[in-house]
Structures are given as C-alpha cells and as structure tokens.
Amino acid sequence: MMQKLKDFAHGALVPVLVLILWEACSRAGLFSAVVMPAPSAVAAKWWAYLLPAQEQEAGQSYLAWLLSGELLHDAYSSLYRVIAGFVIGAGLALPLGLLMGANTRIYALFNPLVQILRPIPPIAYIPLAILWFGLGNPPSFFLIAIGAFFPVLMNTIAGVRQVDGIYLRAARNLGVGQWTMFTRVILPAATPYILAGVRIGIGTAFIVVIVSEMIAVNDGLGFRILEAREFMWSDKIIAGMITIGLLGLAIDTAVSRLNNHLLRWHRGLEH
C-alpha cells in the first residue's frame, strides 16, 4: 500500500508543479484570463459544468437530479460513442486479422487494400460519413470504427505471423490438428499483440470521437468544446479537455489491468 502511495505521489509531482506555476503566472498577470484562465478558474468552471443546471423538480429523485448535469451527460454521450464504435471496429478487425495472419493466401488477397486504406486518417472520411449516414451517432460510429479498426487489425496480423516456429513444430510433432493448433498455440501466443492493438485502438477512438462530435452531433465533450470556443469560454474548453483526459486515463488503466490479468501466464505469474 505504501509503495502504491509513493508511486502515486511520484507520478503526481510534475502535474502539481505545473499547476502551481500556471496559477502563479496567471495571478501575476502574465496570461490573459480570456486566453489562458487560471487553474482555479478552470476548476470552478468544471464544477459548475458538473452540477445540475436547473433546480430539482417536484417529484424528481435527488439522484436523478444530481446526475442531470451537463458534464455527466456529455461524458456519457462521448463514452457511449467510443465504446460502440470501438466494438464495431475491433469486432471486424479481429477475425480478419486472425485469418490474414494464419493464411498466406488471404493475406496476399487483402493486404494491398489494407495498405492503401491504412494511411488515410479517419478525419478524411468525415465528408463521406455525413453523406452516407447524415448527422447524429451513425457517422460518429463509422469514424470511430475506422480509427479502431487498423490498430487492432495490424497488431493481430503481426501477432499471428510472429508466433515462434518452435511452438508450431512442437505441436505438429505431437500430431495436433489445424483447429487445435490455432486455438491452443497460435491464438494464445498472439494474445499480447492483440491486446496491445486493443489498447492503441481505444486511444485512437478517443481522438476520433472528439473530432466527430465537433461535426455531426449536438452533444458530447467535443461538441461542448466547440460550442465554448464560439463564446470564447477558455475555462470551459480546458475543463472539457481535462475531462477527456480523465476518461481516457480511466479506460486505459482498466484495459492495462485487464491485460496484466489475462497475460499472467505470459509473464510467468500463473501458479
């Protein structure tokens, strides 16, 4: 427990020093309050953004009223789009990546198309997404799915194709069939690569969701940041950015812990 507290304090040292320096420079008048508000002003705006904007209605439960704040609604909307888009993208990338990694003919068939499409950033698909799906959640799902698709696909292919040949030869010498070879040898050996691709794909999904919300929807953290820019509410812009960072940190931490749990055998921790 003490070691975890020490690690947390060590990791928080630089951010705390940056906040102190930022606050001191703002109070000294080195920054314009409109362009770069002080951390205390950002914290106050973040708290106001979190609290319900309206008074509690008659008959409305306290919990429902407490959770009706604009920030929680926007965070939920963004998180919903990230998860839905990621599930679509990763759900398509994983089986294709396994097939391309395990079968040289399928790899030769699909790889040219993949290499042509992979360098195109998801943002470039925005006009087509709006043209095909209109406005609302569908174009956001489409863009996020594209952003998550290629990291998961490429890591899955790499994981399957880089399975140590010793494992494959040992399995063949034992008379293992193709299906057992795939499920008991290739897939477990490729799992670290696949989970690394999942982690990268989720990070990419967070980047794409903010851009998509600035274009196609009327809620979410990205939409709120763009709205705040129109009114030059720098404190609300930064508050939204911090919320995105906190959500991303929470999801990345959860995925990292899941990876560590699933890969205990890989690190020699399984008893």
- Look at residue 62 and give its three-state secondary structure: helix
The pLDDT of residue 266 is: 59
pLDDT digits (tens, 9 = 90+) for 177-229: 777 777 777 777 788 888 889 889 988 888 898 888 888 788 888 888 888 88
Percentage of the chain exceeding pLDDT 70: 92
User: Which one, of 211, 208, 198, 204, lies nearest residue 254 by Cα?
Assistant: 198
Q: How many C-beta atoms surround the C-beta of residue 250 within 10 A? A: 11
The pLDDT value given to residue 271? 45
Please choose, from the candidates 199, 206, 211, 218, the residue with its C-alpha nearest in 3D space to the C-alpha of residue 246. Answer: 206
Residue 126 and residue 64 in contact, taking contact as beta carbons nearer than 8 Å? no
Q: What is the C-alpha separation between 121 and 125, in angstroms, rounded?
A: 8
Section 236-257 average pLDDT? 87
**pLDDT tens for residues 81-114?**
999 999 999 999 999 998 898 888 999 999 999 9
Helix ranges (H only) for the chain are: 2-27, 39-50, 62-66, 70-102, 104-117, 126-133, 137-161, 165-173, 178-181, 187-213, 221-230, 234-262
Whether the pLDDT of residue 11 is over 80: the answer is no
One-letter identity of residue 229: R
Q: Is the pLDDT of residue 267 over 60?
A: no
The owner of tokens 């990268």 is 200
Q: How far apart are CA 179 and CA 176, in angstroms?
A: 8
| pLDDT beyond 60 at 39 | yes
- Nearest CA among 92, 84, 136 for reference residue 117: 92
125-167, pLDDT tens digit by residue?
988 998 898 888 899 999 999 999 999 999 999 888 887 767 6
b/e per residue 27-63 (b: at least 16 CB within 10 A): eeeeeeeeebbbbebbbebbeebeeeeeeeeeeeeee
